[in-house]
Chains A and B, each alone.
Chain A
Amino acid sequence: MSQIMPSARQRKMRTLLFWAVPAVLLLLPLATNPYTQFIANGMLVSVLVTLGFTLTIGNLGQLAFANTAFFGIGAYSSAILAAKLGVPWLLTIPLAGAFGALGGFLASAAALRGIRTYYLAIITLAFGELMRWAYLHAKPLTGGTDGMPMPRETLLGISLTDDTLKFYIFLAVTVLLVKATLNLMRSHFGRAVMAVRENEIATASLAIPTARVILATFMWSGFVVGCAGALFARHVGHVFPESFGMLHLIASFAMVLVGGLGSVLGAVLGAVLLTALPEYLRAFPGMEELFFGLIVAGVLVAMPMGLASLLRRVSPIFVERFYREAP
């Protein structure tokens, strides 16, 4: 689909908008109660999970489902570092990202060996299940089925159970990683990522090291989702193996598709909508799953390219540079 690219002025507006949204969000705690604040915090975690997922599946075009494994690795790394080694939770965020990146490195091994499509999907799914098995059985490290409680901690004299404090930290991490990913995707590397998606052989013929591009994308995806895992560990305060199963993967996949495959803006929109939706549907006990399914299906039927495509139609400022809708 051809798209009108934004002008220089519109690009400036877009930059302004990018910073205006988190600036406005700084005021959000004034309008929330602990419940709505908790949901808002969950949205920020989901944004990062979806962002990491869309990088491999949408931008790189690899049918890879190791996302939930990266998420679990990040959450458990953070919990283990904080609970067993006494590392302050804030410091565990980049460390969890690094472990997530290591997970990305391992998951990319299959892709680097030329395994693609459904075969890659199965291998990466198996990787996720293998990690879940490890969380369950490495009891001295992970707590097994009892999970890992996060230690009580304070920051600037405020308890880290405080949802408002968590919101500001989550917001800062999310903005940082979204901005970094946007910049990455606008760079030469980002173009190479999308070139691999479009035609890997043709990309290699241009002397672009496709293997390195694939490896680096998986690792960045792992880093982003690993950081999300660390946020999640603090968000729920207790990490359990069940949080990193197929249901989480399906929910994240739905967020990617509803937002718009391969779009950073779509990752944000999909995550926000599908994290909020189940909470609104609490008003319909027993019908939540039905309504959730219908709404997701409805959005995808009406907007096959996701919510981001709707915004792109509204204004060119929402067109992401070098973005092309995934086939």
Chain B
Amino acid sequence: MKKYISLLAAAGLAASPLLAQDAEWETEGLSDDAITIGVMGPFSGNASSYSKALIGMMAYYDKVNEEGGVHGRKLVAVQEDTACDSAKGLAAAKKLISQDEVFMLQGNSCSGVALALRPTIEEAGLPWIVAHAVSDSISDPLAANIFHGVPTGGANGRAMAAFVLSKPDTSNVAIIEHSNDWAHSYSNPAREYLEENGVAPSLELTMERGQTDATAQVLKLRQEKPDFIIAALYEAETAIFLRDLKKYGMGDIPVMGTAGTDLENTLKRTGDFDTVKNYYVIHSYVDNLDGPLMQPWGEMIHKYYPDEELSTFSFVSIGSAEALVSALEAVGPELTRSKLMAALEEVRDFDTGILSDPISWTADDHQGVKGSAVAGFVDGEPTVLKAWGQPY
């Protein structure tokens, strides 16, 4: 017996540095009064406008800090630039993990960069909440430490199709899209959803980026006379498509667009309300950007970032920041990385008050937001809709 006890003691002694190392890793980036969070985004380069997507999250951290933090700890953001470039993004991630030794990561625009980061961050094991990039492959297949806090491309695609089918008597649906993966990330899940519900797209058309005329596509649509058109097009091409649709007398056919377009901007581009009166877009929020439900969030951002010009992007990361704070509060003062990840997996139907759909993370599914609302003009006013004819 003594022999076994000695052996166990020896094994325990040998393992103690490893255990100490594990304990050290669990609380890396934590102090009695701060939780350091690595925030990566494209702060320079061609895609730097996407960095606006992190402003809401940063403002929310500031708000929480002003209210005393979480269990006495302030949320301290360490920002690093990815420039929307995979090599620079990897350097940023490695710096945050190994040099700045942050407790966790949150943020990231640019799906390509996030995809490139995934193996490194998965290997490092610290919690990472993706707060803007939408590619489903970032969080699927499941990685224990990667959580998606915004609707993915797949969720948005399904939401588009669900809205289309919510219009009574819709059976003839056409799809027009760019021939790139961005468009496919919306159209493929939308197509799957339609087919699951017994509606096969009657016509599938392509409109390439940079195309300045959609006559050929519109004439084909005129022959098919669809009940609804799903358009996975960028904003400039959307405006051209809607203009030509009206030109050929088909302006009454409703068109469902992606989250990559915005009602007001599309109206500005076409300069003609009649072209957009039947245009609907994915809108992840509970209200219009200038609506009463969004107003407190806009005020929060302006309190900490007075010069921020609010756009759709400015609000996108707030929901995941709220879910994080909720999980941190649930863990209590004895915070570790493992405890936080376990708490994140317990987040269920979390109403953020800003995202149209709740956040739910489980042990088997880290894609937290499963749907989106839709925005369209109702009686000439931009309105957020749950389904056809049903205001949010």
Contacts and interface: CB of A to CB of B under 8 A. Distances in A.
Contact of B112 (A33, A39, A240, A247): A240
B125 to A, nearest CB: 13
Interface in B77-133: 79-81, 84-88, 90-92, 94-95, 97-99, 112, 115-116, 119-120, 123
A203 to B, nearest CB: 39
B85 A242 contact: yes
Contacts of A278: 88
Contact of A237 (B79, B80, B116): B116
Most chain B CB inside 10 Å of its own CB: which residue of A36, A232, A236, A289: A236
Interface residues on A, range: 20 to 34
Contacts of B169: none
B334 interface: no
B180 A145 contact: yes
A42 interface: yes
A240 B116 contact: yes
Interface string A222-239: 000000000010011110
B115 A238 contact: yes
B90 A236 contact: yes
Given A38-B91, A145-B181, A242-B85, A236 B135 contact: no
Contacts, number: 85
Interface in B274-304: none
B137 A236 contact: no
B271 interface: no
B192 to A, nearest CB: 18
Given A136-B180, A147-B115, A39 B91 contact: yes
Most chain A CB inside 10 Å of its own CB: which residue of B95, B99, B179: B95
B86 A243 contact: yes
B181 A144 contact: yes
Interface string B189-221: 000000000000000000000000000000000
A146 B135 contact: yes
A254 to B, nearest CB: 15
A283 B317 CA distance: 24
Given A136-B180, A278-B88, A145 B112 contact: yes
Interface residues of B, number: 32
Nearest to A245: B46
A282 B94 CA distance: 13
B43 interface: yes
Interface string A283-296: 00110110000000
Given A237-B119, A240-B112, A289-B44, A35 B98 contact: yes
A298 interface: no
Interface of B: 43-46, 79-81, 84-88, 90-92, 94-95, 97-99, 112, 115-116, 119-120, 123, 135, 137, 179-182
22 contacts: A33-B99, A34-B94, A34-B97, A35-B94, A38-B90, A38-B91, A145-B180, A145-B181, A146-B137, A149-B115, A149-B119, A236-B86, A237-B90, A237-B119, A237-B120, A240-B86, A247-B46, A247-B85, A278-B88, A282-B80, A289-B44, A289-B45
